[in-house]
Amino acid sequence: MSDGAKPSFAQKISSAKFAEVAIVVILLVVVAVLILSSFSSNKEETEGYAQALESRLSEILSRIDGAGEVEVFLTVASEGEKVIAIETSESADGTITTTPVFSGGEPVILEELMPEITGVLIVAEGADDLGVRFNLIEASASVLNINQSIIKVYTMGGINH
Task: Please name the residues in contact with 139: beta carbons below 8 A apart, sequence gap of 6 or more.
Answer: 60, 61, 64
Instruction: Note the pLDDT tens digit of each residue in 26-81.
Output: 777 777 776 666 555 555 666 678 888 999 999 999 999 999 999 999 988 877 77
| Domain assignment present for 160 | no
Q: Between 69 and 115, name the one with better pLDDT.
A: 69
| Domain assignment present for 31 | yes
* Inter-CA distances, 141 with 112, 121, 130, Å: 22, 12, 16
Structural domain count, the chain: 1
Q: Which amino acid is at 58?
A: S
CA–chain centroid gap for 150, Å, is 20
Instruction: Note the pLDDT tens digit of each residue in 43-53.
Output: 566 667 888 89
| Domain assignment present for 2 | no
- Domain ranges, residue 102: 9-155
| Domain assignment present for 84 | yes
* CATH (domain of 126): 3.30.300.30
